[in-house]
Amino acid sequence: MDLKDQDWLYEQERVDSVTGKIAARKGTLEADVGLVRGDVVELRKDFWDEVRVNFSSSDDLGETSTSLRQQSQVLSERERAHLQASETLKKLRLLEKSPYFGRIDFTEEGQEGTEQIYLGIASFLDDDQETFLVYDWRAPVSSLYYDGAPGPAAYQTPSGEIGGMMELKRQFVIRDAQIKVMFDTGVTIGDELLQQVLSHSSDNQMKSIVATIQKEQNAVIRNDKSRMLVVQGAAGSGKTSAALQRVAYLLYKYRETLKADQVLLFSPNPMFNSYVSTVLPELGEENMLQTTFQAYLEHRIGREFDLEDVFSQMESMLKSEEGPWLRVKRASIAYKSSTQFLDAIRSYKDDLEHAGMKFKPIRFKGRLIVSEETMREKFYSYDSAIRLANRVDLMRDWLLKELAQFAKNERQAPWVDEQIELLDPDEYQKAYTRIRRKQAAKKQDTFDDHERERSLLAKMVVNEWLKPVRKWIKRMRFIDVKSMYETLLTDKDLFLSVSGGKGLPEEWEAMGEHALELIHAGKLAYEDVTPYLYLQDLLKGFQINSVIRHVFIDEVQDYSPFQLEYVKRIFPRARMTALGDLNQGIYAHTDVLGGSLESLKQLYGAEDTEVISLTRSYRSTLEIVEFTRGMMPGGESIIPFNRHGEKPIVQLADSREALHRSIVEDIRSLNARGYEHTAIICKTAEECEQVYAALKDELPMKRIAKTTPQFVTGTLVIPSYLAKGVEFDAVVIYDASQEVYRRESERKLFYTACTRAMHQLHLYSLGQPCRFIRDVDPSKYMLQS
């Protein structure tokens, strides 16, 4: 038996022994969990039997409350024990199949002996409760595995750095307690293992990368010093993967204080939420909260306006011909995404402290209760030292009082009598009971006084009718944000004064008209939504969320500086992790970041910001990366991972029928070769519809739209801008011709679409290929006609 076989034997025996212990622990815990669950069920069922309830005297009342408190304490202690045991059980079940994936042998400086450290997704202690049979991958010592190679090495602990010598680094793939793969690695974490992982075909969900985290990714995962962490990385460099591992790391490191529902991820689209949703559970952690920025906007002002979303904005811009509309739209997007516009709105609000507030009059049945004029006078009669949002609060309270007075007077109005007559028996009965209850409480006579009856019924009727007005006031709808936003966009003198004229585009007037037209139709353009919300919050108060401690923004290049400022403002207690790739900045407002994610440093200031760059691309084969990077200026800095495949194919077609025929054959052949998760990427949703209609009878396929909630497998037809963040075994670009991708501004969109491919990239072109392909060195692809 050679040394290798001996090692293998030794390691398999250890796996057997550890999994045996895990199984035994699991068995005991399952029994315990069953018992505790039984306790909880019993306690809940018998809760009131165990509480001594007696309300007769104040002493009895005190005793009842103590007994109640004791009983709920017992219950919640048992519930906590049950939860904890269930969580441990969940981890043991994961460990049982694959107890660990790595081993390092480390001799600590000044210490005798070498420790064998095995790394898995959770820690597992021997029966002595002291010896670590498996270390959690997030434990301080585990970073040796990710950061160092055999030789001198060190790791950080809360009490300082620990140095020593790493004697061995070994990697395993263990499935169902059997070692499938094992090798010792030299310089970097096994390219071999990574090769294996990356050459698998994709499934419909992102996977955890815990066994093969790379050094630079580890820096992203473990960074917890800065308030703001910016990760800029090439397509497929593992930004999203590292971010999810980072969530798991933070939940582990701060387990006493941080819970999964205090971490929020902003995803690029609803489908992406489902795409990444299995990573944390795979690591035995709960999922963080996930949303999209659009969903947040809808939640805030979706009831007032029909909001344009970023995808509709994109679709309409991609479909439009060059002309005045597109010019104005671009100018509007660029300006309204900037912090200059944000500053202008802020300064407008400062002006409003002194004059210019607009209100909606309070009306009831067509009659004026409080006029706009009166409201304005009242508002500016408050001490100007009081903050504007607080003055709005005062105003609300005053209006509620005015309304109460109005209600009192209104009780005598003839319409009230009519309504009393119209009360149906049920309502009347309800009123009668309520009145009786009140009389009893006030120890009044019986319900015989006709006058009193009428007055009580009148009060009830008026209150009922005024309910919507009261609600309207409480929600501060009396502030006419819409009208003030309109004024800001159309009153040039005012705007020049609040903005100082800085960066004001030539198209300013046309921009205002465009926005107004939509607003009057009850709509809000995407570029106006956040600014509108910002103005509204400045006037009514921000809806601050202090619970969230970590905000993750994926695809941050798709956010405008304005939106990022807004996010920062509403999560004041959160740290931010922003992940982005400027080469994938596909929306019209993304140029605003000024060509560098460095500008994100301004958000929290350079002192509080750290930027980490990821340049190695793992998703695609070397051939695909060499092709895609060729279309981006500066693409040379993207380093492909050394995994080979076929060169991308550019296939020319001379008719649409021929194009469709070739694509159908191609997908069938890709499927037959095991590439099941394939995507036909079209430029727009409109193109997707046409392709779907033409090919659906030939090929089983699913059409993805902006509202598709679930990421699915099989052959998808998907618009380019929705393919963000996800990946496929094979990508077919439906029509990469010059005719379709005509504008320079579509380069990043095209690049993003191509970089979704893991193993195969086939581009079809009806006529001449677009210039982005022609920019690539022809030796990097195969041209077929």
Ligand X SMILES: Nc1ncnc2c1ncn2[C@@H]1O[C@H](COP(=O)(O)OP(=O)(O)OP(=O)(O)O)[C@@H](O)[C@H]1O
Tokens coding 37: 């669950």
Q: Closest CB to ligand X among 462 and 631?
A: 631
> In the bound complex, what is the minimum distance in angstroms from residue 308's beta carbon to ligand X?
25
Binding site for ligand X (CB under 6 A): 194, 197-198, 207, 209, 212-214, 217, 233, 235-241, 581, 584, 618-619, 725, 727, 755
Whole-Å CA distances, 529 to 306, 308, 534, 607, 701: 10, 8, 9, 31, 35
Measured CA distances, 335 to 330, 339, 501, 591 (Å): 9, 9, 12, 11
Give the DSSP letter of residue 359: B
Nearer to ligand X, 480 or 554 (CB): 554
Quickly list DSSP for 649-677.
EEEEESSHHHHHHHHHHHHHHHHHTT--S
- Would the annotation count 233 as a binding residue? yes
CA angle 735, 738, 744 (to 5 degrees): 115
Distance of closest approach, residue 27 Cβ to ligand X, in angstroms: 34
DSSP string, 26-58: HHHHHHHHHHHHHHHHHHHHTHHHHS----SSH
CB of 215 to ligand X, least distance (A): 10
- Give the integer Cα–Cα distance in Å for 734 and 240: 27
User: Which residue is at the shortest CB distance from ligand X?
Assistant: 238
User: Residue 601: which of 591, 593, 592, 610 has the closest Cα?
Assistant: 610
Of 560 and 584, the one with the shorter C-beta distance to ligand X is: 584
CB closer to ligand X, 626 vs 727:
727
Smallest Cα–Cα separation from 185: which of 99, 104, 100? 104
Contact status, residue 716 vs residue 701, Cβ threshold 8 Å: yes
Alpha-carbon distance of 667 to 672, in angstroms, equals 8
Angle at 370 (CA atoms; ends 367, 371), nearest 5 degrees: 90
Facing residues of 289 across strands?
264
- The answer to whether the annotation marks 239 as part of a ligand binding site is yes
The least distance separating ligand X from the CB of residue 292, rounded to whole angstroms, comes to 15
CA 772 – CA 733 distance, rounded (Å): 13
Antiparallel, parallel or unpaired: β 115-120 and 102-108: antiparallel
Distance (Å) of CA 406 to CA 367, 476, 656: 11, 19, 71
Give the span between the Cα atoms of 270 and 298, in whole angstroms: 13
Q: Is 748 annotated as a binding residue?
A: no
Give the separation between CA 135 and CA 99, rounded to whole angstroms: 10
The continuous run of DSSP H or E covering 166 comes out as strand 160-175
Question: Quick one: CA torsion of 723, 727, 729, 735, rounded to 10 degrees?
Answer: 20
Closer CB to ligand X, residue 244 or residue 535? 244
Q: Which is nearer to ligand X, 349 or 643 (CB)?
A: 643
Closer to ligand X by CB, 213 or 460: give it. 213
Which CB atom, from 101 or from 508, has the smaller least distance to ligand X? 101
- For 181-216, give one letter per residue: b (16+ CB within 10 A) or e: ebeebeeebbbebbeebbeeebebebebbbbbbbeb
Residue listed under structure tokens 């035994």: 24
- Are the C-beta atoms of residues 169 and 102 closer than 8 Å to each other? yes
Q: Which C-beta is closer to ligand X: that of 214 or that of 765?
A: 214
Reading the block at residue 410, the tokens are 């209104």
Compute the least distance from the CB of residue 483 to ligand X, in Å. Answer: 42
Question: Of 640, 701, 709, which Cα lies nearest the Cα of 666?
Answer: 701
Q: How far is the CB of 244 from ligand X (least distance, A)?
A: 8
Nearest distance from C-beta of residue 620 to ligand X, angstroms: 9
Minimum distance from residue 274 beta carbon to ligand X (Å): 15
For residue 293, the minimal CB distance to ligand X (Å) is: 17
Q: Say if residues 601 and 611 touch (Cβ distance below 8 Å).
A: yes
| Cα separation, 517 vs 492, whole angstroms | 17
Nearer to ligand X, 71 or 237 (CB): 237
Answer yes or no: is 234 a known binding residue.
Answer: yes
Two structure tokens written together for 166: 């790493």
Q: Which is nearer to ligand X, 250 or 403 (CB)?
A: 250
CB 387 → ligand X: shortest distance, Å? 42
User: Cβ of residue 191: shortest distance to ligand X, in angstroms?
Assistant: 11
In the complex, least distance from residue 342 CB atom to ligand X, rounded to whole angstroms: 27
Output 687 or 727, the one with its CB closest to ligand X: 727
| Nearest partner of 165 among 185, 151, 146, 144, judged by Cα | 151
CB of 319 to ligand X, least distance (A): 25
**Element (DSSP H or E) covering residue 782:** strand 782-784
Instruction: Kindly tell me which of 37 and 207 has the beta carbon lying closer to ligand X.
Output: 207
Which bin fits 551, alpha (ψ -120 to 50), beta or left (φ > 0)? beta
192-195's contacts with Cβ under 8 Å and 24+ in sequence apart are 194/618, 194/641, 195/642, 195/643
Structure tokens of 328? 């104005």
| Least distance (Å) between residue 624 CB and ligand X | 12
The nearer residue to ligand X, 235 or 271, going by C-beta atoms, is 235
Largest CA distance in the chain: 108
Report the alpha-carbon distance of residue 15 to residue 101 in Å, rounded.
11
Closer Cβ to ligand X, 379 or 711, answer by number: 711
Residue 186 marked in a binding site: no
Question: Is 635 one of the annotated binding-site residues?
Answer: no
CB of 562 to ligand X, least distance (A): 23
Q: Which residues are annotated as a binding site?
A: 233-240
Q: Which residues are annotated as a binding site for ATP?
A: 233-240
